[in-house]
Structures are given as structure tokens and as C-alpha cells.
Structure 1
């Protein structure tokens, strides 16, 4: 099978799996949110924030090392990754137990210290993860990764349904997140071809730490960036406000996470193997940027035109206040999606400090958000701080992107895509009719499909402005018609 066919097959598998993950995750949140009130959903959100603290501040990117490093598929490298992962899991679990009290008090929930201590089980469980399924990405075999992502999510959906029969408060979400960790670890071992083992090899461990330390520091910054606004709102406002804000945040965040995982899994192997071949590397960089810009526009237009309907149809009228911030958050996430391209380009060359440095500048918006919250400004004002921070971080990330001979082309492409995206979004949102906030079911469905269709059409048109992407689309079209084309595929050159 050619590299191009492998990439297309991998993209199809990952797209399908991430689609299932998105649907399952959203349905799970809907089940929980509709079963409990907004205040309890706010409490449940504090557990999710604590888990994010664990995951983001302990990210050594061991899975990415196994894909990027030349010796990533060796038994010694895999065993070393397992040992580091286990040690990290135990250490983080002990830290979580120690800080459970202060975290509970921060959110005004001192009576729930025991619940925050239970969350410490999650990193301990993740410490037993088997990474063999990740190594198979080196050969563009994404099926194990797709199963690992999908199966636990689908089973967790069943867990959520069963938990609602037993509990009627925040314990529904606590049960779900604990069992999800168990299912993920079990899935990683079932998908492994090699036995689980530990290997102590200091040179290999040092290589992983050298690759991962910028990402570890970046994890602390990312927690503040991704979750800082919710921590501020949870500590300065009430749990009801945190509940509806989290609905808007999760709706905007979910597509970003899925797109980021999909992009990293597909683009990382291609860019890594062609980092010394500028004829392939530079066009792939610009295609990555175009895809990110198109997806960002899709998010902004989709939530602007159909966000209110989506909230009411999925989570219910008690969370309708989420519509007041969903456009602000979608713009922030669109800028974050744009940052994916230069970040992956840097990671493909082992330059993992790109995201860390960009996020240092992004985190400068947090003190402003804290000041606005403490001085009595609105939730919308707190959320808007993220837009300015993401814009600055994007500029820094592009400036640091290691594109030797195509930097000027990359920057010009970014400016053109940004200008077109802003113009399209401004005109479309300005001409759009007012969203229905308490309409009939049929009106909400119509608004949802209308908004989604318009967003998809305009985002697709923006994507097709890239000549290399148009060529790949023509090749894909010719392939589906089972005919040959005289043009040579860019990805087919990747051998």
C-alpha cells in the first residue's frame, strides 16, 4: 500500500473514531447535565478541572516520543516509557491527595474533600497504561489508536446511563470519570502485541525527559489557559454560573480537542519523515495551516449561527445562558486551532519548546481575567480575555516555527487566511437572522441545520483556496471514480 493510501486510510479511520468519541462524549455530558441541576453540574465540573490539572501538568508526551524518535519502536524504548509513566502516575496521585483540601476550599466545597481525594485514583491508573498501540502509528497503522479512543468512550456512555439510576447529584460524573480511567487502561493492554514491561535505561529516559520537559512546563501553562477561566469563574462566581459556562466551554472545546488529536496523529508521521525534504515539507506545512483556518472558521460560524439551538436541544433551557458566551469562546478556540499548525511543525522536528514559549505569552491574559472577575466584571468580559491572549500566542508560535525556506510563504498564507476568515465571519454573522432562544422544537432543528450547512459551505470554500489541497481533493475524487490522473500527488511523493 502506498504512503498516500495509508494516510487516506488512517485519516478515514481516525475521523470515524473521533466522530464517535465526540458524539459519545457529548451524549455523556448531556445525560449527566439533564439528570442533575446546573449547580451540581458545576460541582461535577470542578472534578473535571482537577483531572485536567493532573493530565496537563504531567504531560511528558511519552506517546509522541515513541512516534517521533528513531528508536521509538524498540522494546527498550517502550519499557522505559512504561516505567516513567508509572512513576509519574504515583507521584501525581500523592500530590492530588495532598492538595484535595485546598482545592475543595477554593471552590467553596469543603464538605467534598473526600471526593477530590478519590480523583487521585485516576493518575495512578493511567500509570499502568500500555503504549504499544501508539508505536504502531509509526507505520501509519491508526486502527489500534482508533479503538483505544472509541471503546472506552462508548462504554463510558453506558456507565453514565447506569450511574443516573443510582445517583442524582455530582456523584454521577465522579463515577463516570473513575470508570473511564479503568476502561482506558484495560483497552491499552488488550490492544498491545508485546508484553507490558519496565526497563530502566538512563540514556533512553534522559532522551524522553529532554523531549518532554518543555511539554511538561507547557502543561502547567496549558492548564491555566484551557481551564483558568473556569477556575476563576468557579472561585469568584457561583456553581450555577460555572455550570452553564462549562456547557458553552465544553461545546467549543470538544471539536478543538478532536481536531488537534486527529491533526497530530496524521501530520506528525508525515512531517517527521519529510523534515529534510523541503519540496514536500513546505507544502504540507501550508496545507496544515489552511486546514486549521478552515476548521476554525467552521467553529465560529457554526456556534454563531446555531449555538443557541444546539444548547437548548442538547442540554436544555436551564443552560440557555451559555449562549451569551459561546461566540466569544468559539473565536478563542478558532485562534487556538490556528496554533496547531506551527506547533505540530515544530514537534515534528523535536522542537517542543514552541508551544511552551507561545503559551507563556498566552498566560499573560490570565492576570487580566482575574482582575476583571475580582472587580465585579461580567463572565463575558472574563471570557473575552482569552481572545487577545490567543492572538499574541499565535504570533509567537508562527515566529518560532522552524520552517527554513518557506517562512515568508507560510506567514503570507496565514495573513491571507485570517483576513478572508474575518471578512467571511463578519458578513455572515451580520446578515444572519437573530437566533431563537425559546422556540419550538422544529424551529430549533431548522436553525441548527441551517447554521451548520452555511458554516460547512463557507469553511470548505476557504479550504479550497490552497492549491495543494485542491490537488489532493482532485486526486481523492479521481480515486473514488477509479480513474487515473496525470498529476502527481504531493503525498504520493512521500516515500
Structure 2
């Protein structure tokens, strides 16, 4: 199992790495306010994807008849309908969204973005079906190659247009190449079918996932919407960059855990080995979450001296808390995958409800003038409550039991992240006390 997991991790890391570098390149080539506008494109795309998310990729992996061509054709037809409706919705909402954010001149760009959900809907489902037999290469290629190509076009686009339109062009190019490549690596012919039986089953399987997608949109995007609305595009640009630096590795880790373990867990539900593999999922997610939290805090300390004279000077104080928040979210992903493997698709939505309450409190804090740190720390509190709820749900609904090692690891993670966050303040306090003492000693020596 280690070799496929490493393959998936490297593939996901490559895809996310290319997109990460692309975002950094765009941020370096355009003004901060323009990067804020570019960040709203991801927000718009997330909105339409959220409204039509039914977990089709998870269904073809988790279902016992996932290899049935009829199921695949039905899911393809469902996905195509979903893409058409999403494209129409984004086109219609382009004007209101641009007006809400105070950037009406960008309306046409949101309408052009309506092509992206349609292109994504044209991807071939074989790249997901092949995961059932641990054949992850096609999916990795479709994720990584278009991301690499979208990075390659950033520089020519920057020379040509030189503003937020760079990101628009890169997103469109990535979607088009992803759709084309998915057909090139497929084994079965692409067929879209209308099947009421399979579509009804998809709706039953997917409605909790749709509910969770709505919640995730609020968790990942509504705060950006509030920041752009209340604080403006420049603040949104800084906030979006901080999220990019911390969210990218968290998505890599969570996606790797799900891709590597969901097929195996789904195939072992009724066997004696299920509990052991579920324990691996829970432990791996906590280890990954702890690693991200500590790495993000270290990154915030490291980059602070280098960007004080740039438009991103406020970035270091945001990265550490955001890394802790994403680390807790990764730690929660293990219990989510275990629940999904036994068909408990509603667990994820329930465990994200505390985060929504924290978001409401955070937006209220922004309106009261408390700034971005208050928004983030309230998010940390919400994610912590969600982690506790998620673990409790999967323990109660599946009968799993947490080992002493896993409990110790969770406690160690909390203590380590807290210690890493407060360390800079402890060092500053120590220096503040030490420096006057050194001056007093120096003065005493000079007088003697």
C-alpha cells in the first residue's frame, strides 16, 4: 500500500505545486489589488461547483458496481447536465457578483468563466473508475499536466495583458487541456446516458455531499467574499495569498488520504481488516495535520523579514494561525474518509457545522473592525470543534475505537501547535527582559 500512496502523494503534490507556483507567479507579476480580483475567480468557480456537487467521483469508486459501464454512462450524463446548469448559473450571476464586490468592470470575465464548469463536465470518468483497481496514473496525469501547462502560459499572458486577466486565461487553458487529456488516457468510449434509476441513486448518495459542499463553500470562500466586500481588493489579495500558502498543502494531504484509502476501505467494510485500516487513516490524517501546522508556523517566521517592504507585509501574521486551522482540517479528514467508505456521507456536513458558526462570528468581527486575525482565530476554534464532533460521529456510527497511541498523538499535536505559535512571543518577551538587564550590567562595568 505504501507504493501507491507515495505515487498518489507525488502526483497530487505535483499538480498542487504547479498551481501553487502559478498563483505565486501571478501575484508577483500583477499588483496586489489585481491579485485580489484574480482570487475572486476561484470564488466564483467554487460557488457553481458547490451548487452542483453530488460526489460522482466518490460514487464510482465506492459503489460495488462501479465497473458497470451503465453506471459510468449514467454518471457521465449526470455530470454533463450538471456542467451545463452550472455554466448557465455562473453566466447569470456574473453581474450581481461583480456589483457586490464593487468591481463591475469584471462582469465580462465572470461570464467567460462560465466555460470552465462545462469543460470540467466533459472530462472522461475513466480516470476515476480506474482508481478501483489501484490504477492512479491517468488521474494523476489529468491533474498534473494541465496544471503544469497553465503555469507555462502565465508569463506570455503577463507580457500580453499584465493584469488580473492573466489568471483568467490560465484557468481557461487548464480546464480545456484537462478535458482533452482525460479522453486521451481513457479506455472506454465516452457516452452520456439518461438513466432514471441510476440518477435517483446518485441523488440519494449525493445529497449529503451536496449539503457538505455548500458548507465547504461557506468555510473556504465566504470569508474571502466578506474580506473583499468589507476590506477591499488589496486586503483580499493578501488574505488570498495567505490561504494559498496554507490551503494548497492541506488539499494535497486530504486528497491523497482519500484517493489512497477510500477504495481499500470500501472493499474491506465487511472484513476483519477494516478496523485496522481505518486506524491507519485516522493516524495518517493526524500526523499530516500536525506536520502542516508546524511547517506553516515556521514559514510565517521565516518570510517575515523578506517581505516587510512589499504589498504583502501583513502576510506573516496570518500564515501561522491559518496553518493551524488547515492542520486541524486535515486531522479531521481521516474520520471523514472512514465514514464515506461505509456510506455515511452526511458525517462531513455535520462536522463542518461548527465552522459555519465560527464564520458568522468572524464576519461580525470584521464588521466591528477587529481585522483578519480575529476572523482566522475564530476559524481555528470552529475547526477544533468540528474535529471533535467528526471523531465522535465516526466512533459512534461505525463502532471504531481510538487506540491509546492515537489519543496521545492528538494531544501531542495540540500541545505542539500551541507551543509553536506562542514561541515567538515568548522569545520576544525574553529579549524584552534581557536587553535592559544587559545594558544595566554594561553600565555597572563602566562605572567600576
Structure 2 SS opposite 1:321: coil
User: Which moves more between the two structures, 297-306 or 217-226?
Assistant: 297-306
- The partner residue of 1:422 within 404, 414, 428 is 414
Structure 1 SS opposite 2:216: helix
2:5·2:260 contact (CA, 8 Å) conserved in 1? yes
Cα distance in structure 2, aligned partners of 1:58 and 1:64: 14
Structure 1 SS opposite 2:52: coil
Q: What is the deviation of 1:421?
A: 1.3
Q: What is the deviation of 1:213?
A: 1.0
1:30·1:315 contact (CA, 8 Å) conserved in 2? no
- Structure-1-length-normalised TM-score: 0.82
Aligned residues: 428
Taking a change above 3 Å as real, the CA distance of residues 105 and 265 of structure 1, as seen in their structure-2 partners, is: same
Cα distance in structure 1, aligned partners of 2:87 and 2:307: 34
| Aligned positions of 1:66-465 closer than 5 A | 66-278=60-272, 280-310=273-303, 317-401=310-394, 407-409=400-402, 415-431=407-423
Q: Which residue of 2 aligns with 1:61?
A: 55
Q: Which residue of 2 aligns with 1:472?
A: none
2:395·2:401 contact (CA, 8 Å) conserved in 1? no
Taking a change above 3 Å as real, the CA distance of residues 309 and 192 of structure 1, as seen in their structure-2 partners, is: same
Taking a change above 3 Å as real, the CA distance of residues 314 and 198 of structure 1, as seen in their structure-2 partners, is: farther
- Structure-2-length-normalised TM-score: 0.90
Taking a change above 3 Å as real, the CA distance of residues 16 and 313 of structure 1, as seen in their structure-2 partners, is: farther
Q: What is the deviation of 1:24?
A: 1.0
Structure 1 SS opposite 2:352: helix
Cα distance in structure 1, aligned partners of 2:421 and 2:353: 32
Taking a change above 3 Å as real, the CA distance of residues 194 and 405 of structure 1, as seen in their structure-2 partners, is: closer
1:308·1:320 contact (CA, 8 Å) conserved in 2? no
| Aligned positions of 1:10-29 closer than 5 A | 10-29=4-23
Q: Which residue of 1 aligns with 2:437?
A: none
Q: What is the deviation of 1:409?
A: 2.4
1:297·1:334 contact (CA, 8 Å) conserved in 2? yes
Map Cα deviations across residues 302-326 of structure 1 (whole Å, 9 max, x no partner).
1212224357779993313111111
Cα distance in structure 2, aligned partners of 1:38 and 1:133: 37
| Aligned positions of 1:9-48 closer than 5 A | 9-48=3-42
Q: What is the deviation of 1:139?
A: 0.7
Taking a change above 3 Å as real, the CA distance of residues 297 and 315 of structure 1, as seen in their structure-2 partners, is: farther
Taking a change above 3 Å as real, the CA distance of residues 224 and 233 of structure 1, as seen in their structure-2 partners, is: same
Map Cα deviations across residues 244-271 of structure 1 (whole Å, 9 max, x no partner).
1111111110011111111111000111
2:300·2:317 contact (CA, 8 Å) conserved in 1? no
Q: What is the deviation of 1:100?
A: 1.0
- CA RMSD of superposed structures (Å): 2.2
Cα distance in structure 2, aligned partners of 1:33 and 1:8: 36
Q: What is the deviation of 1:287?
A: 1.9
Q: What is the deviation of 1:429?
A: 4.9
Cα distance in structure 2, aligned partners of 1:424 and 1:398: 20
Q: What is the deviation of 1:435?
A: 10
Give structure 2 stretches of 5+ with no counterpart. Answer: 429-448
Cα distance in structure 1, aligned partners of 2:126 and 2:367: 47
Give structure 1 stretches of 5+ with no counterpart. Answer: 1-6, 437-495
Cα distance in structure 2, aligned partners of 1:379 and 1:356: 25
Taking a change above 3 Å as real, the CA distance of residues 389 and 404 of structure 1, as seen in their structure-2 partners, is: closer
Cα distance in structure 1, aligned partners of 2:182 and 2:343: 26
Q: What is the deviation of 1:428?
A: 4.5
Cα distance in structure 2, aligned partners of 1:314 and 1:88: 43
Map Cα deviations across residues 125-182 of structure 1 (whole Å, 9 max, x no partner).
1121211121111111111111111111111111212211211111001111111111
Cα distance in structure 2, aligned partners of 1:229 and 1:159: 29
